Protein backbone atom coordinates (compact mmCIF):
# COMPACT_ATOMS: atom_id res chain seq x y z
CA UNK A 1 0.00 0.00 0.00
CA UNK A 2 2.80 2.44 0.89
CA UNK A 3 6.14 2.73 -0.90
CA UNK A 4 8.72 5.20 0.37
CA UNK A 5 10.16 7.23 -2.51
CA UNK A 6 12.60 9.41 -0.59
CA UNK A 7 13.65 10.78 2.78
CA UNK A 8 15.42 14.10 2.41
CA UNK A 9 17.17 15.64 5.39
CA UNK A 10 16.77 19.39 5.19
CA UNK A 11 19.58 20.18 7.63
CA UNK A 12 22.40 17.70 7.22
CA UNK A 13 25.04 18.22 8.45
CA UNK A 14 23.85 20.25 11.46
CA UNK A 15 24.74 21.27 14.98
CA UNK A 16 24.17 18.41 17.44
CA UNK A 17 21.57 20.44 19.39
CA UNK A 18 19.59 21.45 16.28
CA UNK A 19 16.28 19.71 15.60
CA UNK A 20 16.19 17.07 12.86
CA UNK A 21 14.28 18.36 9.83
CA UNK A 22 13.34 16.17 6.90
CA UNK A 23 10.82 15.56 4.16
CA UNK A 24 9.33 12.12 3.49
CA UNK A 25 7.80 11.36 0.09
CA UNK A 26 5.78 8.18 -0.39
CA UNK A 27 3.36 6.56 -2.80
CA UNK A 28 0.00 5.22 -1.67
CA UNK A 29 -1.66 2.72 -4.06
CA UNK A 30 -5.05 2.47 -2.28
CA UNK A 31 -6.94 4.76 0.11
CA UNK A 32 -6.30 4.15 3.80
CA UNK A 33 -9.03 4.44 6.45
CA UNK A 34 -6.63 5.44 9.23
CA UNK A 35 -3.59 7.68 9.65
CA UNK A 36 0.02 6.62 9.25
CA UNK A 37 2.19 7.02 12.36
CA UNK A 38 5.82 8.06 12.01
CA UNK A 39 8.40 7.95 14.82
CA UNK A 40 11.96 9.22 15.03
CA UNK A 41 14.24 7.29 17.42
CA UNK A 42 17.81 8.12 18.47
CA UNK A 43 20.01 5.18 19.49
CA UNK A 44 23.20 6.28 21.23
CA UNK A 45 24.31 3.19 23.11
CA UNK A 46 24.46 -0.26 21.53
CA UNK A 47 22.92 -2.87 23.80
CA UNK A 48 21.22 -0.27 26.03
CA UNK A 49 17.64 -0.06 24.79
CA UNK A 50 16.71 1.78 27.99
CA UNK A 51 18.70 4.74 26.58
CA UNK A 52 16.91 4.82 23.18
CA UNK A 53 15.08 8.13 22.79
CA UNK A 54 11.88 8.66 20.85
CA UNK A 55 12.55 12.18 19.60
CA UNK A 56 9.14 12.80 18.10
CA UNK A 57 6.17 11.20 16.40
CA UNK A 58 3.44 12.40 14.09
CA UNK A 59 0.26 11.18 12.45
CA UNK A 60 -0.22 11.72 8.72
CA UNK A 61 -3.66 11.37 7.21
CA UNK A 62 -6.00 11.05 5.59
CA UNK A 63 -3.73 9.59 2.95
CA UNK A 64 -5.06 9.83 -0.61
CA UNK A 65 -4.01 7.57 -3.46
CA UNK A 66 -0.92 8.90 -5.24
CA UNK A 67 2.31 10.58 -4.29
CA UNK A 68 2.25 12.24 -0.86
CA UNK A 69 4.86 14.06 1.19
CA UNK A 70 5.20 15.73 4.54
CA UNK A 71 7.87 17.59 6.46
CA UNK A 72 8.76 16.35 9.91
CA UNK A 73 10.81 17.98 12.64
CA UNK A 74 12.15 16.03 15.60
CA UNK A 75 13.79 17.40 18.71
CA UNK A 76 17.50 16.76 19.25
CA UNK A 77 18.41 14.00 21.71
CA UNK A 78 18.26 14.71 25.44
CA UNK A 79 21.95 15.05 26.24
CA UNK A 80 21.38 14.06 29.88
CA UNK A 81 20.55 10.48 28.89
CA UNK A 82 23.54 9.85 26.62
CA UNK A 83 26.52 8.30 28.42
CA UNK A 84 29.60 10.55 27.93
CA UNK A 85 31.52 7.69 26.27
CA UNK A 86 28.76 7.33 23.64
CA UNK A 87 28.41 10.99 22.60
CA UNK A 88 31.28 11.18 20.10
CA UNK A 89 31.44 8.84 17.14
CA UNK A 90 28.66 6.75 15.63
CA UNK A 91 25.03 6.58 16.75
CA UNK A 92 21.86 5.59 14.88
CA UNK A 93 18.74 7.49 13.88
CA UNK A 94 15.70 5.38 13.00
CA UNK A 95 12.53 6.51 11.26
CA UNK A 96 9.63 4.07 11.53
CA UNK A 97 6.30 4.05 9.72
CA UNK A 98 3.28 2.23 11.18
CA UNK A 99 -0.33 1.66 10.27
CA UNK A 100 -2.84 0.53 12.90
CA UNK A 101 0.02 -0.22 15.34
CA UNK A 102 1.82 -2.39 12.75
CA UNK A 103 5.27 -1.26 11.69
CA UNK A 104 5.59 -1.46 7.89
CA UNK A 105 8.95 0.27 7.35
CA UNK A 106 12.10 1.05 9.32
CA UNK A 107 14.70 3.38 7.84
CA UNK A 108 17.97 3.65 9.72
CA UNK A 109 20.82 6.10 9.37
CA UNK A 110 24.24 6.08 10.96
CA UNK A 111 25.07 9.42 12.54
CA UNK A 112 28.60 10.64 13.18
CA UNK A 113 29.08 13.19 15.95
CA UNK A 114 32.29 15.17 16.33
CA UNK A 115 33.62 18.52 17.45
CA UNK A 116 33.49 21.43 15.03
CA UNK A 117 37.20 22.33 15.13
CA UNK A 118 40.48 20.41 14.67
CA UNK A 119 41.88 21.16 18.14
CA UNK A 120 38.86 19.72 19.94
CA UNK A 121 38.75 16.73 17.57
CA UNK A 122 42.37 15.89 18.37
CA UNK A 123 42.15 16.69 22.09
CA UNK A 124 38.54 16.37 23.25
CA UNK A 125 37.77 18.19 26.50
CA UNK A 126 37.24 16.12 29.64
CA UNK A 127 33.57 17.18 29.73
CA UNK A 128 31.46 17.17 26.56
CA UNK A 129 30.80 20.64 25.14
CA UNK A 130 27.52 20.02 23.31
CA UNK A 131 27.42 23.52 21.79
CA UNK A 132 30.57 22.66 19.82
CA UNK A 133 29.35 19.34 18.40
CA UNK A 134 28.18 18.69 14.86
CA UNK A 135 26.33 15.70 13.49
CA UNK A 136 26.21 14.23 10.02
CA UNK A 137 23.88 11.49 8.85
CA UNK A 138 25.20 8.90 6.42
CA UNK A 139 23.53 9.24 3.02
CA UNK A 140 22.98 5.50 2.60
CA UNK A 141 20.06 4.44 4.79
CA UNK A 142 19.34 0.86 5.76
CA UNK A 143 15.75 -0.06 5.01
CA UNK A 144 13.57 -2.89 6.30
CA UNK A 145 10.01 -3.42 5.11
CA UNK A 146 7.49 -5.54 6.97
CA UNK A 147 4.38 -7.25 5.63
CA UNK A 148 1.34 -6.05 7.53
CA UNK A 149 -2.44 -6.25 7.26
CA UNK A 150 -3.67 -3.17 5.43
CA UNK A 151 -7.37 -2.22 5.16
CA UNK A 152 -9.40 -5.15 3.89
CA UNK A 153 -6.25 -7.08 2.99
CA UNK A 154 -5.33 -10.65 3.79
CA UNK A 155 -3.95 -11.64 7.15
CA UNK A 156 -0.49 -10.26 7.72
CA UNK A 157 2.48 -12.38 6.90
CA UNK A 158 5.13 -12.71 9.60
CA UNK A 159 7.34 -9.62 9.74
CA UNK A 160 10.28 -10.11 7.43
CA UNK A 161 12.64 -7.80 5.64
CA UNK A 162 11.89 -7.28 1.96
CA UNK A 163 13.76 -5.31 -0.66
CA UNK A 164 12.80 -1.64 -0.51
CA UNK A 165 14.79 0.70 -2.68
CA UNK A 166 14.68 4.22 -1.33
CA UNK A 167 16.31 7.43 -2.35
CA UNK A 168 17.91 9.67 0.23
CA UNK A 169 18.37 13.41 0.19
CA UNK A 170 21.02 13.09 -2.52
CA UNK A 171 18.77 10.88 -4.65
CA UNK A 172 21.08 7.88 -4.44
CA UNK A 173 19.42 4.49 -4.17
CA UNK A 174 20.10 2.81 -0.86
CA UNK A 175 20.97 -0.79 -0.29
CA UNK A 176 17.98 -2.78 0.90
CA UNK A 177 19.51 -4.26 3.99
CA UNK A 178 17.87 -4.86 7.31
CA UNK A 179 18.32 -2.11 9.86
CA UNK A 180 19.17 -3.37 13.31
CA UNK A 181 16.25 -2.77 15.59
CA UNK A 182 16.68 -0.31 18.39
CA UNK A 183 16.76 -3.38 20.64
CA UNK A 184 19.66 -4.88 18.67
CA UNK A 185 21.90 -1.79 18.65
Reply yes or no on whether the pLDDT at 170 is more than 90.
no
The gap from C-alpha 166 to its chain's centroid, in whole angstroms, comes to 13
* pLDDT mean over 150-171: 49
Range with lowest mean pLDDT among 1-5, 58-62, 92-96, 152-156: 152-156
Domains and CATH numbers, the chain: 2-168 (2.60.40.1490)
Query: What is the percent of the chain where pLDDT is above 90?
Result: 77
Q: How many H-runs (helices) and E-runs (strands) does the chain carry?
A: 1, 11
| Residues 105-134: b if buried by 16+ CB within 10 A, e if exposed | bbbbbebebbbeeeeeeeeeeeebeeeebb
CA distance 175 to 7: 14
Give the β-pairing of 167-168 and 2-9: parallel
What 3-state DSSP class applies to 176? coil
* pLDDT mean over 30-45: 95
CA distance 25 to 68: 6
pLDDT digits (tens, 9 = 90+) for 111-150: 999 999 999 999 999 999 999 999 999 999 999 999 999 9
pLDDT digits (tens, 9 = 90+) for 70-119: 999 999 999 999 999 999 999 999 999 999 999 999 999 999 999 999 99
Per-residue pLDDT, 151:
84
Q: How far is CA 23 from CA 27, 60, 66, 114, in A?
A: 14, 13, 16, 25
pTM summary value: 0.81
Query: What is the percent of the chain where pLDDT is above 70?
Result: 82
Amino acid sequence: MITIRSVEFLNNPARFLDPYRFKVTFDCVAPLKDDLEWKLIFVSSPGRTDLDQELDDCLVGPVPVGINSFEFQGAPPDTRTIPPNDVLGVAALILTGSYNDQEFVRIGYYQNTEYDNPEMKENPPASIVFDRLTRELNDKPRVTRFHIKWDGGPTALPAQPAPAPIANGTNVAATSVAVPSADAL
